[in-house]
Chain A
Amino acid sequence: MHANAPASAMPERLKPAPGGRAVKLAAAGVTKHFWIDGAAEPVVALSDVSLQVAEGEFLCIVGPSGCGKTTFLNIVAGLLPFDRGRIEIGGREVDGPGRDRAVVFQQSSLLPWRNTLDNVLYGMQLHRRFSPEEMRDRARRYIDLVGLRGFERHYPAELSGGMQQRVNLARALATDPEILLMDEPFAALDAQTREFMQAELLRIWQKAGKTVIFVTHQIDEAAYLADRVVVFGTRPGRLKAEFDVPFARPRGLELKRAPEFLALLDRVWRLIEEEAARAGLYATAAEDRP
């Protein structure tokens, strides 16, 4: 648990990442303020966040709403400027969107006038990395991988929410990113679809072998998917704790009912509860009694 590492240049960058693998992403002392209209002081959305992600690692960020987890992801995506700190991906500093990253958003964010195939092609067309033939091949390959063969000509409005997120995932993977950034991609899905999509994501991730940063507010989702779960705290948004998730892969959905899984959830939950109570978002049962 190394919460609140000092914002000194980048000492941690040289340390090996968890598991002894090479560091893919290193964030050091990332700080971000938001100004709200009429307020005298800025809101500290992120305070001094330092973390590292190893090559091929599946990292989940959880935390109560307002903890800055999505802000952090948007900063890593290069969509938001930040005030202090430094982020490197594969040794290169992040200063805007890049071809080394691909984002899967919570909202479907598919072009409604493009069918599945053309939406999957879209990311690659914007990246301008592959030839037209390669783009076709890759699009077909990743549409197969996410299980959407036969739906190439369907428009987003003709697909269910889960299928739309599959298209989003295929679009992101087809660009061959070094890091896949996922911002609560299953939050808008119904509970059952979400479970199946989690298992699907693990299957696809194991085949595609990408580094993933996955933001969610669901602790069981995080613990099921991740190699490591990072807990963000709120007011100010900051890194509070991290948990290694030791369960063997491949993981089936039955893992979610295993006692050791539930014990891990309990530990994470207690930390978040404590955090929420401290921030005044939630009153503990004891405080509630007259």
Chain B
Amino acid sequence: MSVARPLSTAPSRTMTPRAEADAAAPAAETTPEPPTATFWQRHDGLIVGGVAVVVVLALWQAAWSAGMIDPLFFSGPSAIFARLWRGLFVEGDMVRHIVFSAENFAGGFAIAAALGVPLGLVLGWYRLPRLALEPFISSLYSTPRIVFVPLIIMWFGLGLGSKIVIVALSAFFPILLNVMSGVRTTDAQLLRAARAYCATEWDLFRTVVLPSTVPFIIVGLRQGVALGLIGVVVGEFFAGSFGIGYLVGQAATMFQTDLLFACVVIVAAVGIGASVALQRVEKHFQRWRPKA
């Protein structure tokens, strides 16, 4: 709030010194209170969203406690939480699956980001390589990656390797395509101005293209997280005997709906956590944007 106030008065201060002096005199007598946001105004999203979640959970729990839900096909909040607690802290049977999935996801996502971001920058900037690779990229991107899963399992086996490749393949394309379009939407006027100041190609890339592509990189990484999570679950679901995806399949065949939902909660928590973390990073890079 302290940032916004001086800005609103700033233009008149330099443009018309006399007008400012005139305006300042009467203002000194009745200086209005600076507007302060109430607790409600500052946290309305959190409050409304939180209340909605609590209400839904309460209704669900009430229906579950009243025995209106068949535990064979569905579950209730208390049962899911109890299973989660048991799986994580008491028996710990879920922990090794989570660790396995986390390794798959981290490895695959790291590969996707390490390849997707630089390649996206290069393909966005240089026309010829883009024209050469575009048919492959668009055909691979529009094919559901799940059809490659059996092939990848054939090539890389049932263990960690194939899962990492599946995650990498899932997360790679959204990262690549977002970074490419970020580079290509760089403001032409900024490039022109930089060229007028004798900027080299590398200067243009470093001082204009890269900073203006940051928001696109982050959007790409966020979509990559979402699709990578799908990749890890699908990969483990298909083959192997480890991981959250495997656990989901097992829980379903044995009608352990509470375990199944516990797995869903874990995957959702990871997705939300990664998304929030990347939002933080984005905010850090977007400090210059006006708060409107």
CB distance from A240 to the nearest CB of B (A): 27
Please tell me if the beta carbons of B11 and A127 are within 8 angstroms of each other in the complex.
no
Interface residues contributed by chain A, number (CB under 8 Å): 39
Chain A residues whose C-beta falls within 8 Å of the C-beta of B203 in the assembled complex: 126
Chain A residues whose C-beta falls within 8 Å of the C-beta of B16 in the assembled complex: 192, 196
Chain A residues whose C-beta falls within 8 Å of the C-beta of B290 in the assembled complex: 155, 157-158
The answer to whether B280 has its CB under 8 Å from any CB of chain A is no
Per-residue CB contact flags for chain B residues 80-118 toward chain A (1 = under 8 Å, else 0) read: 000000000000000000000000000000000000000
Among A39-47, A81-89, A109-117, the one that faces the other chain is A109-117
CB distance from A74 to the nearest CB of B (A): 9
Please tell me if the beta carbons of B10 and A79 are within 8 angstroms of each other in the complex.
no
Please tell me if the beta carbons of B195 and A79 are within 8 angstroms of each other in the complex.
yes
Please tell me if the beta carbons of B7 and A105 are within 8 angstroms of each other in the complex.
no
Q: Known contacts A154-B7, A159-B10: does B193 contact A103 (CB below 8 Å)? A: yes
The answer to whether A193 has its CB under 8 Å from any CB of chain B is yes
The answer to whether B146 has its CB under 8 Å from any CB of chain A is no
Please tell me if the beta carbons of A97 and B189 are within 8 angstroms of each other in the complex.
no
CB distance from B216 to the nearest CB of A (A): 14
CB distance from A25 to the nearest CB of B (A): 16
Chain A residues whose C-beta falls within 8 Å of the C-beta of B240 in the assembled complex: none
Chain A residues whose C-beta falls within 8 Å of the C-beta of B199 in the assembled complex: 126
Within 8 A of A (CB), among B185-207: 189-190, 192-199, 203, 207
The answer to whether A122 has its CB under 8 Å from any CB of chain B is yes
The answer to whether A90 has its CB under 8 Å from any CB of chain B is no
Per-residue CB contact flags for chain B residues 1-28 toward chain A (1 = under 8 Å, else 0) read: 0000001001100111000000000000
The answer to whether B289 has its CB under 8 Å from any CB of chain A is yes
Within 8 A of A (CB), among B53-84: none
Residue of B nearest to A158 (CB): B7
Residue of B nearest to A107 (CB): B189
The answer to whether B251 has its CB under 8 Å from any CB of chain A is no
The answer to whether B211 has its CB under 8 Å from any CB of chain A is yes
Measured between alpha carbons, how far is A102 from B199 in the docked complex, in Å? 12
CB distance from B145 to the nearest CB of A (A): 34
Within 8 A of B (CB), among A146-166: 147-148, 151, 154-160, 162-163, 166
The answer to whether B119 has its CB under 8 Å from any CB of chain A is no
Please tell me if the beta carbons of A163 and B195 are within 8 angstroms of each other in the complex.
no
CB distance from B238 to the nearest CB of A (A): 44
The answer to whether B155 has its CB under 8 Å from any CB of chain A is no
The answer to whether A77 has its CB under 8 Å from any CB of chain B is yes
The answer to whether B288 has its CB under 8 Å from any CB of chain A is yes
Question: Which of the residues B11, B192, B197 comes within 8 Å of A123, measured between beta carbons?
Answer: B197
Measured between alpha carbons, how far is A129 from B14 in the docked complex, in Å? 31
Chain A residues whose C-beta falls within 8 Å of the C-beta of B289 in the assembled complex: 112, 157
Per-residue CB contact flags for chain B residues 266-288 toward chain A (1 = under 8 Å, else 0) read: 00000000000000000001011
Please tell me if the beta carbons of B207 and A111 are within 8 angstroms of each other in the complex.
yes
Please tell me if the beta carbons of A122 and B189 are within 8 angstroms of each other in the complex.
no
Measured between alpha carbons, how far is A162 from B16 in the docked complex, in Å? 11
Residue of A nearest to B197 (CB): A126
CB distance from B214 to the nearest CB of A (A): 8
Measured between alpha carbons, how far is A97 from B197 in the docked complex, in Å? 7
Please tell me if the beta carbons of B14 and A147 are within 8 angstroms of each other in the complex.
yes
Within 8 A of B (CB), among A117-141: 122-123, 125-127
The answer to whether B208 has its CB under 8 Å from any CB of chain A is yes
Please tell me if the beta carbons of A105 and B189 are within 8 angstroms of each other in the complex.
yes
The answer to whether A98 has its CB under 8 Å from any CB of chain B is yes
Question: Which of the residues A98, A105, A160, A193 comes within 8 Å of B192, measured between beta carbons?
Answer: A105
Question: Which of the residues B11, B15, B198, B208 comes within 8 Å of A98, measured between beta carbons?
Answer: B198
Chain B residues whose C-beta falls within 8 Å of the C-beta of A122 in the assembled complex: 197, 207
Chain A residues whose C-beta falls within 8 Å of the C-beta of B14 in the assembled complex: 147-148, 151, 162-163, 166
CB distance from B188 to the nearest CB of A (A): 10
Please tell me if the beta carbons of B197 and A127 are within 8 angstroms of each other in the complex.
yes
Residue of A nearest to B212 (CB): A113
Measured between alpha carbons, how far is A147 from B11 in the docked complex, in Å? 12
Please tell me if the beta carbons of B10 and A113 are within 8 angstroms of each other in the complex.
no
Measured between alpha carbons, how far is A154 from B290 in the docked complex, in Å? 11
Residue of B nearest to A106 (CB): B189
Measured between alpha carbons, how far is A77 from B198 in the docked complex, in Å? 10
CB distance from A154 to the nearest CB of B (A): 7
CB distance from B7 to the nearest CB of A (A): 5
Measured between alpha carbons, how far is A155 from B10 in the docked complex, in Å? 13
The answer to whether A211 has its CB under 8 Å from any CB of chain B is no
Chain B residues whose C-beta falls within 8 Å of the C-beta of A193 in the assembled complex: 15
Chain A residues whose C-beta falls within 8 Å of the C-beta of B208 in the assembled complex: 111
The 6 A-B residue pairs with the shortest CB-CB distance, nearest first, are A160-B11, A109-B193, A155-B288, A126-B197, A103-B196, A157-B290
Seen from chain B, the residues whose Cβ lies within 8 Å of a Cβ on chain A are 7, 10-11, 14-16, 189-190, 192-199, 203, 207-208, 211-212, 285, 287-290
Q: List 28 A-B contacts (CB under 8 A).
A: A79-B192, A97-B195, A97-B197, A105-B192, A105-B196, A109-B192, A109-B193, A111-B208, A111-B211, A122-B197, A122-B207, A125-B207, A126-B194, A126-B203, A148-B14, A151-B14, A155-B287, A155-B290, A157-B289, A157-B290, A158-B10, A159-B11, A160-B11, A162-B11, A162-B14, A163-B10, A192-B16, A196-B15
